[in-house]
Amino acid sequence: MWLKRLSEAGGVSGHEDEVRQIILDIIAGHVDDYRVDSIGNIIALKKGDGSSDLRVMVAAHMDEVGFMISHVEENGLLHFHKVGGLDDRILPAKVVWIGDKKVPGVIGFKPAHLTEQNERDQPIKYKQLTIDIGTTSKAEAEKLVQRGDYATFATEFVELGLAGEGWQTVRGKAFDDRAGCAVLIELLNTQYPFDLYAVFTVQEEVGLRGAQVAAFAVEPDWAFALEGTGANEIPTPKDVSPSTRLGHGPAITVMDRSFIADKRLVRLLIDTAEELGIPYQIKQPGIGGTDAGAIHRTREGVPSVTVAVPCRYIHSPAAILNLDDFDHTVQLVRESLSRLPTIPR
Amino acid sequence: MDTAELLKQLTEARGPSGYETEIREIVQERFGQYADETRTDALGNVIALKRGQGLDPRPTVMLAGHMDEIALMVKQIEKGFLHIARIGGFDPRVLLGQEVIVHGRRDLPGVIVSVPPHFTDPAERDKTVPLDRLFVDVGLAPEQVEKLVQVGDLITIHRGFTELSGGWAASKAMDDRTAVAAIAICLEELSRLKHQWDVYAVATVQEEVGLYGAMTSAYGLAPTMAIAIDVTFGHQPGLSEAETVKMDGGPGIALGPNIHPQVFEGLVAAAKAMEMPHQIEPVPGRSGTDAWGIQVSREGIPTGLLGIPLRYMHTSVETVALKDVERTGRLLVAFIARLDDEFLDALTWNKGNGREEA
Amino acid sequence: MKETIKKLVETFGPSGYEQDIRDSIRQEIERHGLATEKGDEVRVDALGNLIVLKKGAGDGHKVMLAAHMDEIGVIVTHVDEKGFLRFGRIGGVYPHTLLGGRVRFADGTVGVIGVEKLEDRTKMPDLDKLFIDVGAKDKASCPVRVGDVASFVRPLADMGDRLVAKAMDDRIGCAVLLQVLRDLKETPHDVYFVFTVQEEVGLRGATTSSYGVAPDLALSVDVTGTGDTPEARTMAVSLGDGPAIKVKDGGMLAHPGVKNWLVKTAEGNGIPYQLEVLEGGTTDARAIQTSRAGVPAGCVSIPCRYVHTPSEMVDYGDVTHAVKLLVTALSKPIELM
């Protein structure tokens, strides 16, 4: 399963090269055509069996949130910008890999012994943090890293859960949206009635940028975005929505901040799920945004929907997802796509 | 071309976002001197074409610098005093005491005022004056004001170009008339050189209110590649080195998601070939410039971004080193002169399997 | 016009769920035979925009008029164990307009908005402290599910000169467009009357419909605020002083040529008008203006008090004058200076 390789690969928004190469190598034998456009999207075509003249775009984004080195200090420490949405509070004391050579560094923090009580209540600001790669001068540091280098969390992919116990989860970075990419790769093992444009987009995390230009080029009739979306199951006394939950199947978006899903596509997914006994959930409306937000408003409009694998702790060094949810997502999207020509335009 | 004289003409001209008429005429004349054709489009962008000498069909490179400036507008008139609305991002704290021109039936000199400290509570004097407590006073009787000014009239900052020592200068609207100047310098030098690609020099409108001119001109031109030129934060007290570039250190060459890596490499290579001082500027997301709007036009346009180091952005005393303006213009020339088929090829991520269908 | 206005404002149609209001508008068009001449067209595009072309004599411009069909509303995010509903916003919905209010779902189910206990009654609660009560006993028997949407409930009140209802924003604009469609007898221009979707959540319908129509000039018709209520934000627009010709709002500067054309039309025909500078908020014109290679765009605004509350108030004279301004302006050739 490709998720481990994809999760450990580096691909911060704007520099998705490593992930892009892995995906190109995997899909080359499974699609009829592919190209890389001017912003770095992979646009791959899997021709249909000829029974439908629909053009359908299915998108998953290759990029992850991360960092860019902004300045090398005289003492060899590195300042950084954040790329995409990152909560500053998760940054202290983490390990990162910098650049294509994955130079390891640590985000240091003041020892507790030397911190006053009132300091500990102060919010953490990323501008005050630095990355330490173990050098003590600018000259030494610049042999290894440059201003402008990208960096990611250094997280290894691990399998959790006990074998044979029925609850199989995995932990790693960038499940948002390497999980979606892995789903899309699996979908390419099937032929559909129509031409399927599998688009592995770039720069979703900085404004849905790749999806916008890809959709303009592809001009699809329908679009699906595949995501790894947030699940929040931490216990709370209040009876409110967890957004999505692990183990309850793929999450269908009816509305988020970036778009309102086409009702026919939502209906198709729900009907397919219920007919085939696939678990599914409705993602808590109104949270987040996905590539569908850009796709649906290109040219004269594209009816769109987003389906996601629920993941805890997205945009942090370690996310967790359930492999049954992953398999059910592949199954639900594959079966729904096959039924797509039956719904009214 | 005398840089100081060019910049003085450009920065002292009026051109608030959406109302760029005065600056547009000047730019049409300045670009038109060295271009083969000049025209304007639906929203008022100036588009000047300088043809290259390569074989037809020639690839095209679009240069974009915005000619609009931030300004103010009359929101309401009360007893002869004018309430103000902003056009673009002014920090209200830089406005108090600023001289302005109100463009009513006539151009009226005015000043931005608030209740003087002598007449406010001591507690109030420590607080900043919010925008809705600032007014413009043109010094006329209320009946005269009613006749000469109406809601929606433009108010521009009145500030002349000041040469400072060391080859530096300060004015309003250095953001982004320095870029317009750099493009004019570039066009003049290009007229003395051979270059392969066609060059579209575009002075865009309405950047300060939403990058609207860049979005629409890029759509209309559909260029092969684009370079946006804007100002960027020059090092000044209170800002860290991580968020700025050096003044008089040469143009900033941006790197990040908004920038095509090959265009970045090409600009850096051109700078190094000329032994020109330049600075690498990491931009982790939205660049806040025309480059952001151009990059996602249609099917996407490979885009680069040059930043002219500038202090005190969005005030009436924006300060630059004149050498940085000239360097930016000359870097564009060096880059354009090197554009050839090889570069076009390098721009394409042609990891496809050759067939055009996808 | 009042009958049409009443029908439109009372119809259900939050952003993304505009079927009912679209059907209502189509019925009006069909009932009065408003687009039946040769060359006229009525179609619905991929996102649900209703596009009506009234063909002109042929020697004018391609003009797009836009008014949005969608209204603000709420969407259910969670059904709790006791059958209470948590919700999120569709468009600009603020807690202080909701407390104690009523909402209606697509199937007619009515709900009341309640609030958790407040530790500090002087602070405005966030949406996450509110909930909807549809009278259900528990989760299983609750007729509403996650993802269902509701609009405010408030029937039209006719006060003579003044009309009050929910969704004046922008059903009043739709009513104006319908009346212009009725009254515009002779025109050199091909006029596209576009009833857009999803304006309140980001001008989405205007973005895609303008790409499809590709006009060379555009006007939106939407509500704008006023400065004439007690301790209001400074704004030079008042109810009853005529339709407002937009100079600038929070998202765009009206094309000066378009603004001047409207001002000249009003002054030359004795139509009252006001000039509008709005600081917060924008309209479909902003999206149309940056479509493709750019479109000169402006807006005719209906002054409205209490925008984005369940009781939006307009002046009937402003509405009829807005119709007159548009009909007069579009009946003649347009030259933008």
Residue-wise DSSP of B189-251: HHTTS--SSEEEEEEES-TTTTSHHHHHHHHHH--SEEEEEEEEEB--TTS-GGG-B-TTS--
Do the chains contact at A206 and B285, CB–CB below 8 Å? yes
What CATH number corresponds to the domain at position C148? 2.40.30.40
Question: Annotated catalytic residue: which of C10, C28, C199, C200?
Answer: C199
What is the nearest CA distance from A134 to chain B, expressed in angstroms? 20
Judged by a CB distance cut-off of 8 A, whether residue A54 touches chain B is no
pLDDT digits (tens, 9 = 90+) for A47-105: 999 999 999 999 999 999 999 999 999 999 999 999 999 999 999 999 999 999 999 99
**Which of C109, C125, C152 is at the close of a domain?**
C152
- DSSP assignment string, C188-206: SSEEEEEEES--TTTSHHH
- Answer whether B273's CB lies under 8 Å from B207's CB: no
Judged by a CB distance cut-off of 8 A, whether residue A85 touches chain B is no
Judged by a CB distance cut-off of 8 A, whether residue A200 touches chain B is no
What is the nearest CA distance from B236 to chain C, expressed in angstroms? 31
Q: Select the residue of C15, C77, C204 nearest A297 (Cβ to Cβ).
A: C204
Chains in touch with C (3+ beta-carbon pairs under 8 Å) read A, B
Do the chains contact at C235 and B76, CB–CB below 8 Å? yes
**Which of C120, C152, C184 is at the close of a domain?**
C152
Residue C249 has what pLDDT?
97
Residue B74: closest CA among chain C residues belongs to which residue?
C277
Residue B356 has what pLDDT?
41
What CATH number corresponds to the domain at position B36? 3.40.630.10
Judged by a CB distance cut-off of 8 A, whether residue A245 touches chain C is no
What is the nearest CA distance from A345 to chain C, expressed in angstroms? 8
- Domain membership flag for residue B353: no
Do the chains contact at A241 and C76, CB–CB below 8 Å? no
- Domain membership flag for residue B355: no
Do the chains contact at C75 and A239, CB–CB below 8 Å? no
Could you give the residue numbers annotated as active site of B?
Answer: 207
> Which residues form the domain of B195?
3-69+172-347
Residue A237 has what pLDDT?
87
B contact set with A (CB within 8 A): 240-243, 255-261, 280-282, 284-286, 295-296, 298-302, 347-353, 355, 357-358
pTM: 0.94
Contacts of A210 (CB under 8 A, 6+ apart): A39, A40, A41, A61, A63, A201, A202, A203, A204, A291
- Domain membership flag for residue C53: yes
What is the nearest CA distance from B238 to chain C, expressed in angstroms? 31
Write phi, then psi, for A273 (nearest 5 degrees): -60, -45
Based on the fold, state whether residues B9 and B85 are members of the same structural domain. no
pLDDT digits (tens, 9 = 90+) for C95-125: 999 988 999 999 999 999 999 998 888 888 9
Based on the fold, state whether residues C57 and C93 are members of the same structural domain. no
Q: Report all structural domains of chain A as residue ranges with CATH numbers, in order of start.
A: 3-64+173-342 (3.40.630.10), 66-153 (2.40.30.40)
Based on the fold, state whether residues B179 and B286 are members of the same structural domain. yes
Based on the fold, state whether residues C57 and C191 are members of the same structural domain. yes
Based on the fold, state whether residues C259 and C204 are members of the same structural domain. yes
> Which of A222, A255, A257 should one mutate to test binding to chain C, selecting the residue with the greatest count of C CBs within 10 A?
A255
C169 alpha-carbon distance from chain centroid: 4
C43 alpha-carbon distance from chain centroid: 20
What is the nearest CA distance from B291 to chain A, expressed in angstroms? 13
pLDDT digits (tens, 9 = 90+) for B301-352: 999 999 999 999 999 999 999 999 999 999 999 999 999 999 999 998 865 5
Q: Select the residue of B41, B76, B150 nearest C293 (Cβ to Cβ).
A: B41
- Domain membership flag for residue B342: yes
How far is the C-alpha of A62 from the C-alpha of A176, rounded, in Å?
9
Do the chains contact at A297 and C208, CB–CB below 8 Å? yes
- Domain membership flag for residue C118: yes
Based on the fold, state whether residues C16 and C83 are members of the same structural domain. no
Tokens of A73: 């200090």
- Domain membership flag for residue C14: yes
Do the chains contact at B284 and A68, CB–CB below 8 Å? yes
> Which of B86, B136, B151 should one mutate to test binding to chain C, selecting the residue with the greatest count of C CBs within 10 A?
B151
**Which of B98, B123, B157 is at the close of a domain?**
B157
Residue B353 has what pLDDT?
55
**Which of B103, B134, B157 is at the close of a domain?**
B157
Inter-axis angle of helices B174-190 and B322-337, to 10 degrees? 40
pLDDT digits (tens, 9 = 90+) for A251-282: 999 999 999 999 999 999 999 999 999 999 99
User: Can you tell me the mean pLDDT for B61-82?
Assistant: 97
Q: Strand, coil or helix: what is A171?
A: strand
- Domain membership flag for residue C158: no
Based on the fold, state whether residues C198 and C283 are members of the same structural domain. yes
pLDDT digits (tens, 9 = 90+) for C283-303: 999 999 999 999 999 999 999
Residue B90 has what pLDDT?
86
What is chain C's mean pLDDT, rounded? Answer: 96
Judged by a CB distance cut-off of 8 A, whether residue C256 touches chain B is yes
Residue A250 has what pLDDT?
98
Based on the fold, state whether residues B20 and B50 are members of the same structural domain. yes
- Domain membership flag for residue C157: no
Based on the fold, state whether residues B51 and B177 are members of the same structural domain. yes
- Domain membership flag for residue B285: yes
The CA distances from residue B291 to B203, B252, B300, B333, C229, in Å, are: 13, 14, 11, 19, 43
User: Can you tell me the mean pLDDT for C213-237?
Assistant: 97
Judged by a CB distance cut-off of 8 A, whether residue A90 touches chain C is no
Number of compact structural domains in chain B: 2
pLDDT digits (tens, 9 = 90+) for C117-160: 988 888 889 999 999 999 999 999 999 999 999 999 999 999 99
Based on the fold, state whether residues C16 and C127 are members of the same structural domain. no
User: Can you tell me the mean pLDDT for B75-82?
Assistant: 96
Q: Select the residue of A39, A83, A127 nearest B284 (Cβ to Cβ).
A: A83
Helix (H), strand (E) at residue B106: none
- Domain membership flag for residue C161: no
Based on the fold, state whether residues C116 and C256 are members of the same structural domain. no
Based on the fold, state whether residues B325 and B192 are members of the same structural domain. yes
How far is the C-alpha of A290 from the C-alpha of A135, rounded, in Å?
39
Helix (H), strand (E) at residue C37: none
- Answer whether A316's CB lies under 8 Å from A285's CB: no
Chains in touch with A (3+ beta-carbon pairs under 8 Å) read B, C
Residue A161 has what pLDDT?
79
Note whether ipTM > 0.90 here. Answer: yes
Based on the fold, state whether residues B139 and B176 are members of the same structural domain. no
Q: Strand, coil or helix: what is B263?
A: helix
Based on the fold, state whether residues C63 and C207 are members of the same structural domain. yes
Q: Strand, coil or helix: what is C18?
A: coil
A165 class by beta-carbon count within 10 Å (0-12 exposed, 13-18 middle, 19+ buried): exposed
How far is the C-alpha of C285 from the C-alpha of B207, rounded, in Å?
17
Q: In the sheet that C50-54 helps form, which strands lie side by side, from edge to edge?
A: C41-44, C50-54, C190-196, C62-68, C217-224, C297-303, C244-248, C274-277
Judged by a CB distance cut-off of 8 A, whether residue B85 touches chain C is yes
Based on the fold, state whether residues B218 and B265 are members of the same structural domain. yes
Chains in touch with B (3+ beta-carbon pairs under 8 Å) read A, C
Q: Is the pLDDT of residue B34 over 90?
A: yes
What CATH number corresponds to the domain at position C250? 3.40.630.10
- Domain membership flag for residue B95: yes
How far is the C-alpha of B68 from the C-alpha of B88, rounded, in Å?
10
Q: Is the pLDDT of residue B354 over 50?
A: no
Amino acid at position C105, single letter: F
Label residue B357 by pLDDT band (50, 70, 90).
very low
**Which of C122, C152, C182 is at the close of a domain?**
C152
User: Can you tell me the mean pLDDT for B243-254?
Assistant: 97
What CATH number corresponds to the domain at position B126? 2.40.30.40
Query: Which chain A residues have a beta carbon less than 8 Å from that of B263?
Result: none
Based on the fold, state whether residues B38 and B77 are members of the same structural domain. no
Residue B351 has what pLDDT?
57
- Answer whether B352's CB lies under 8 Å from A36's CB: yes
Do the chains contact at A240 and C78, CB–CB below 8 Å? yes
Based on the fold, state whether residues C325 and C257 are members of the same structural domain. yes
pLDDT digits (tens, 9 = 90+) for B129-169: 889 999 999 999 999 999 999 999 999 999 999 999 999 99
- Our CA dihedral for A41, A44, A50, A55, rounded to 10 degrees, sits at -10
Based on the fold, state whether residues C44 and C190 are members of the same structural domain. yes
What is the nearest CA distance from C328 to chain A, expressed in angstroms? 31
Nearest Cα to Cα of residue B251 among B178, B172, B162: B178
Number of compact structural domains in chain C: 2
What is the nearest CA distance from C209 to chain A, expressed in angstroms? 6
Q: Can you tell me which residue has the tokens 């450009």?
A: B10
* B163, β-bridge pairs: B169
Contacts of A110 (CB under 8 A, 6+ apart): A119
Residue B119 has what pLDDT?
82
Do the chains contact at C294 and B85, CB–CB below 8 Å? no
Based on the fold, state whether residues B180 and B137 are members of the same structural domain. no
Do the chains contact at B87 and C248, CB–CB below 8 Å? yes
Q: Select the residue of C16, C146, C212 nearest A300 (Cβ to Cβ).
A: C212
Q: Is the pLDDT of residue A165 over 90?
A: no
Could you give the residue numbers annotated as active site of A?
Answer: 204
Q: Are strands B46-50 and B37-40 parallel, antiparallel or unpaired?
A: antiparallel
Judged by a CB distance cut-off of 8 A, whether residue B200 touches chain C is no
- Domain membership flag for residue C42: yes
- Domain membership flag for residue B76: yes
- Domain membership flag for residue B163: no
Q: Is the pLDDT of residue B355 over 60?
A: no
> Which of C77, C79, C80, C130 should one mutate to test binding to chain A, selecting the residue with the greatest count of A CBs within 10 A?
C77
Q: Is the pLDDT of residue B55 over 80?
A: yes
Based on the fold, state whether residues C148 and C55 are members of the same structural domain. no
> Which residues form the domain of C312?
2-71+166-331
Do the chains contact at B206 and C253, CB–CB below 8 Å? yes
User: Can you tell me the mean pLDDT for B193-220?
Assistant: 97
**Which of B109, B129, B157 is at the close of a domain?**
B157
Based on the fold, state whether residues C85 and C181 are members of the same structural domain. no
Based on the fold, state whether residues B246 and B325 are members of the same structural domain. yes
Q: Select the residue of B282, B302, B349 nearest A36 (Cβ to Cβ).
A: B349
- Domain membership flag for residue B352: no
